[in-house]
Structure 1
Amino acid sequence: MIKIREGLWLGNIWDIESLNQTRIAQHGITHILSMVEVGGFDSTKFGIVRKEVAIDDVESENLLIHLEDCLEFIDNAIVVCKGVVLVHCRMGLSRSVSVIVAHLMRSEGLSFAKGLAEVEKMSSVQAPREIYEELRGIDGVIRERGYVPDIKAVLHRRLRLG
């Protein structure tokens, strides 16, 4: 697990599979956002609030339709509950990184490139670039309008225009 910001950790499926009470206490994990289906993991035995978004790491999946719910989960965990959230997918490279970058774009007003650079700096992982096309689209809206857009409004505009 890699600390990205206070209250925000990046991980992978092996981090989830190796979770125990000691690791949870060590990192203060109170919430888990799983960007992959995790069979057999019972977060309730650790007292952890968990959200699962079972999407595959393939081009045909649309992360944006899930993104607002994911960002609200992270915001609730960090801001409202004063907790610590672990965001993970299978490898900790694409879906989880995308959600964390989107969180940084919205919460800190970072551009897509700066948000990705922040995550890569902390994790020293070079994530595959082809997975970020959806976030690049949001970044364009941020630069045009000067603020981080409501993801649902962007989706509605895209569907309406075509």
Structure 2
Amino acid sequence: MAALNDKRKEYPTVKDLQKVLDSCKIHLGQIDEVWPKIYIGNVAIAQNKSALLKLGITHVLNAAHSKRGSIGNRSFYGNDFVYCGIPADDSTHFDLDVYFRPAADFIHKALKSPGGKVLVHCIMGMSRSSTLVLAYLMIYHHVPLKKALQKLIQKRAIYPNRNFLALLLDLDLQLETKEKTCQIL
């Protein structure tokens, strides 16, 4: 247990991660490609089906499913898009980490489909959606959290809330511990 606590001290803090986020010089837009074939956007672009079709979006991951102002659901998107909704709150108490793996799996499956491009959105496209994309990069591409943040802020103004950053730090530690365990075996 002491070794785990010692390891934890080497990790960035939420405050360190917020400093990385504060270094972003990009203005927030409606939609940005943040990783090949992965877009983060706001609710306005998510509800503009013709714009999504022009961009070639095939999958929509709504991190604000059934929240006020977010009308997207399976019936809204019909057969034009594969839809997944996560009813997340952008709050300091919401356990978004229970959705990290399902969201990452949805994104991964979307990108594996022919011509797959995925839009991950919430209301503003800054906190919930970016948190889920960061979790995907960490789980499927083994990108450490701080490096994933640095990559995303080169493409979009994001700002996961403090709670989500803490949950991502926990995921980062779990993934690193798991990777080291696998290397030992």
Asked whether the two chains share a fold, i.e. TM above 0.5, the reply is: yes
- Distance in 1 of aligned mates of 2:129 and 2:44: 14
RMSD: 2.0
**What's the CA shift for 1:127?**
1.3
Aligned to 1:14: 44
May I ask how many residue pairs the two structures share in their alignment?
A: 144
The one of 108, 127, 141 aligned to 1:75: 108
**Alignment-mate amino acid for residue 135 of structure 1:** L
Aligned to 1:39: 71
Q: Is 1:127 the counterpart of 2:159 in the alignment? A: yes
Rg larger for? 2
Q: Structure 1 unaligned runs (5+)?
A: 150-162
User: What does the per-residue CA deviation read over 1:104-137, in whole Å, with 9 as the maximum and x for residues that have no partner?
Assistant: 11222110001111111111x1515513110001
Q: Structure 2 unaligned runs (5+)?
A: 1-30
**What's the CA shift for 1:52?**
0.8
Any idea what SS the aligned residue of 1:106 has?
helix
Q: Is 1:25 the counterpart of 2:53 in the alignment? A: yes
Aligned to 1:159: none
Q: Is 1:61 the counterpart of 2:94 in the alignment? A: yes
What aligned pairs does 1:138-153 form with structure 2 within 5 A after superposition?
A: 138-146=171-179
Q: Rate the CA distance shift 1:49–1:24 in 2: closer, same or farther, 3 A.
A: same
**Alignment-mate amino acid for residue 10 of structure 1:** I
State percent identity of aligned pairs: 24
- Distance in 1 of aligned mates of 2:161 and 2:93: 16
TM-score of the aligned structures, taking structure 1 as reference length: 0.80
- Distance in 2 of aligned mates of 1:7 and 1:52: 19
- Distance in 1 of aligned mates of 2:93 and 2:129: 17
**What's the CA shift for 1:24?**
2.2
**What's the CA shift for 1:5?**
1.6
- Distance in 2 of aligned mates of 1:132 and 1:5: 19
**What's the CA shift for 1:25?**
3.0
- Structure 1 consecutive aligned stretches of length 4 or more whose deviation exceeds 4 Å: none
Aligned to 1:117: 150
- Distance in 1 of aligned mates of 2:166 and 2:122: 18
Q: Rate the CA distance shift 1:26–1:33 in 2: closer, same or farther, 3 A.
A: same
**What's the CA shift for 1:40?**
5.9
Higher relative contact order (CA 8 A, sep 6+): 2
